[in-house]
Amino acid sequence: MTDRYAVFGQPIAHSQSPRIHAAFAAQEGISLDYRAIEAGQDDFAAALQAFVADGGVGANITAPLKEAAFALCKTYTSRAKLAGSVNTLLRKGDYWHGDTTDGVGLVRDLTERHSLDLRGRRVLLLGAGGSARSVAPALLDAGILEMVVVNRSPERADALIDAIGEPGRARTRYWEDLRELGDFELIVNATSAGRDRDVEFKLPLSLVNSLTTAVDLNYGEAAIAFLAWARAAGCRNVVDGLGMLVEQAATSFQQWHGVHPQTNAVYAALRAEHALAGED
């Protein structure tokens, strides 16, 4: 039986993961069977079990299933445990081992592709769901000075900060307090708020200084609203999630196949088709 790989999520038809992994496999001369599988919260466990029965040995997990996937793992990396979510599954015998590669993918994209030095920066993280939980530990590991997490539901933000366990560097504030937080060198949108194009994304301009980079973990239409605000606010750099998508996929690929693929050509091909949100 051929080893099979897949990405699970809902919706999933838009996913670039099959194409990205096919490109990586072509680079390395690896024969790959990688597909996209639609699954929601209610049928994800059954779909994953059927995937294993059909030869599945590795999977990527996207919204809204990252925390559900974590619950189905017997073992996981320390960063996945800290995040409480996974985006990469590796079959080990009769169980799943989980990891989260979003954070390392984001940091690699910002530091290597965009040449940003994250050390000593003050960071505002908007959101506290699976995506935020995945990137927060990696940003702290990259040497940022301080992280402030703001979420519409304060309880989730508090839970994230408690899990991180670095009260000296990571703390929460209420969404209503955004005007009182001062300015940040990095603002990361890990919410889904910008996906409704009819709703304007509004944040106080006081959050921005002359060095601010604004990052949306989404790309394409889902990133338009936040990045439009970032441009209007005068952010020095605006970055969408396309580079993170490619870099996190490369880390997943390495875990499955033992080799880290080259990402620049794959990123360039995708960027040629997906203009940075808000640009022609």
Supply the pLDDT for residue 278.
64
10 pLDDT tier (thresholds 50, 70, 90): very high
Q: Is 74 a catalytic residue?
A: no
Name the more confident of 47 and 279: 47
The answer to whether residue 2 scores a pLDDT higher than 90 is no
34 pLDDT tier (thresholds 50, 70, 90): very high
Supply the pLDDT for residue 246.
98
Calpha distance 21→33 (Å, rounded): 9
Looking at the chain, the domain(s) classified CATH 3.40.50.10860 span: 4-100
Mean pLDDT of 180-186: 97
200 pLDDT tier (thresholds 50, 70, 90): low
197 pLDDT tier (thresholds 50, 70, 90): low
Beta bridge partners of 110: none
Q: Is 221 exposed, middle or buried (0-12, 13-18, 19+ CB in 10 A)?
A: middle
131 pLDDT tier (thresholds 50, 70, 90): confident
Calpha distance 265→184 (Å, rounded): 32
Looking at the chain, the domain(s) classified CATH 3.40.50.720 span: 103-242
The answer to whether residue 59 scores a pLDDT higher than 90 is yes
CB 240 within 8 A of CB 276: yes
Indicate the average pLDDT of the chain: 94
Q: Is 179 exposed, middle or buried (0-12, 13-18, 19+ CB in 10 A)?
A: exposed
The answer to whether residue 274 scores a pLDDT higher than 90 is no
The answer to whether residue 17 scores a pLDDT higher than 60 is yes
Supply the pLDDT for residue 75.
98
pTM for the full predicted model: 0.93
Supply the pLDDT for residue 82.
87
CATH class name, domain 4-100 = alpha beta
| CATH superfamily assigned to domain 103-242 | NAD(P)-binding Rossmann-like Domain (3.40.50.720)
Mean pLDDT of 259-273: 96
> Helices in 4-117 by DSSP H: which ranges?
17-28, 44-53, 66-71, 78-83, 102-108
199 pLDDT tier (thresholds 50, 70, 90): low
The answer to whether residue 53 scores a pLDDT higher than 90 is yes
